[in-house]
Amino acid sequence: MREIVVGAAQMGPNQKSDTREAVVARMLSLLDQARDRGCTLLVYPELALTTFFPRWYMEDQAEVDTWFESEMPNAATAPLFQRARDYGIAISFGYAEKTPEGQYFNTQILTDREANIIGKYRKVHLPGHSEYDTERAFQHLEKRYFEPGDLGFPVWRTQDALVGMAVCNDRRWPETYRVMGLQGVELIVLGYNTPSVNSQMSKEGLAERLYHSELSMTSGAYQNATWVVGVAKCGDEDGHPLMAGSMIVDPNGFVVARAETEGDELITHACDMDLSVFGKETIFDFDRHRRIEHYGLITSQ
Ligand code: CDT
């Protein structure tokens, strides 16, 4: 059996004043728990090392830069990589990346079980806006601080499976899953920071928002016969609530593990990668059944 024991390391809030070192200490504690539960891959949220800073409007680029990492691993995250290597647990987490060329991305990385970075993904679907919006209850300035990802949706062979990544809002777009599905993806790992309330529609409640997150991930899993692991950063962050709802979804679209709290919490599942084979060889055998002559609109506008 091709098995990956996956841990979804849901994280409670990171406050603006929290140091990277304090956050990494919590990530290490989740890593210890993952070791005790036999995980071979541990997935942390989007922007795991900091608060969700795009809620704050900033004009001073030097201030913006304080939320970005210009190398990975770096001094603050080195202990995480070291312990992951000691335990033989692959890790995946999100952070704000500043490149040597001065580009800014909302990035997630994937390591092998020796803590070598084997994959990098840069968030393609950036939600929100780029200028201060007086109409919103709070700001969501991802379009101000990040450029759209420039790496596409690659998949990597690791732990005898094909693994891909996505970040937060990407999980709502069928194209995210399908582009990886077309490469045979068997496990998609993604992190998110999703406000519990809609900044533009106060009537939309938490239950509806949790449902849409689950709907996106379960349908993406089913329609591409792949495991999907969605991991939240959640709770009251800088006075702004982020929703939880971390889950592990099997290739039939069923939730097999679900977080119950809005804090640091590990959920795990021994994921059988062969569970994706039946769907890929039958109803979602893309080579046999897709009719791409009718799909042109998807990429032409
Ligand atoms: N971080 C992130 O992408 N959050 C979005 C919020 C959408 S509302 C602007 C999400 O899709 O969950």
Give nearest CA residue, ligand 1 atom 3: 169
CB-CB contact of 191 with 228 (8 Å):
no
174-191 pLDDT, tens digit each: 999 999 999 999 999 999
Annotated catalytic residue within 39, 97, 142, 168 = 168
Please tell me the predicted confidence (pLDDT) of residue 275. 98
User: What distance in Å separates the CA atoms of residue 114 and residue 195, rounded to the nearest whole number?
Assistant: 34
Please tell me the predicted confidence (pLDDT) of residue 236. 98
123 labelled catalytic: yes
234 labelled catalytic: no
Closest to 16 in 3D by CA, of 224, 195, 237, 260: 237
The distance in angstroms from the start CA to the end CA of the chain is 43
Please tell me the predicted confidence (pLDDT) of residue 201. 86
Ligand 1: residues with CB < 6 A are 46, 127-128, 140, 168-169, 172, 192-194
Show the domains of the chain with their CATH numbers: 3-300 (3.60.110.10)
Closest to 198 in 3D by CA, of 188, 186, 208: 208
Give nearest CA residue, ligand 1 atom 1: 193
Is the pLDDT confidence value at 202 over 90? Answer: no
168 labelled catalytic: yes
The tokens for 102 are 């001065």
29-72 pLDDT, tens digit each: 999 999 999 999 999 999 999 999 999 999 999 999 999 999 99
pLDDT band at 153 (very low <50, low <70, confident <90, very high): very high
Annotated catalytic residue within 39, 123, 142, 265 = 123
Mutation test of ligand 1: which of 50, 192, 204, 209 has the most ligand atoms closer than 8 Å to its C-beta? 192
User: What distance in Å separates the CA atoms of residue 214 and residue 47, rounded to the nearest whole number?
Assistant: 20
Q: Report the chain's mean pLDDT, rounded to a whole number.
A: 98
Eight-state DSSP code of residue 147: P
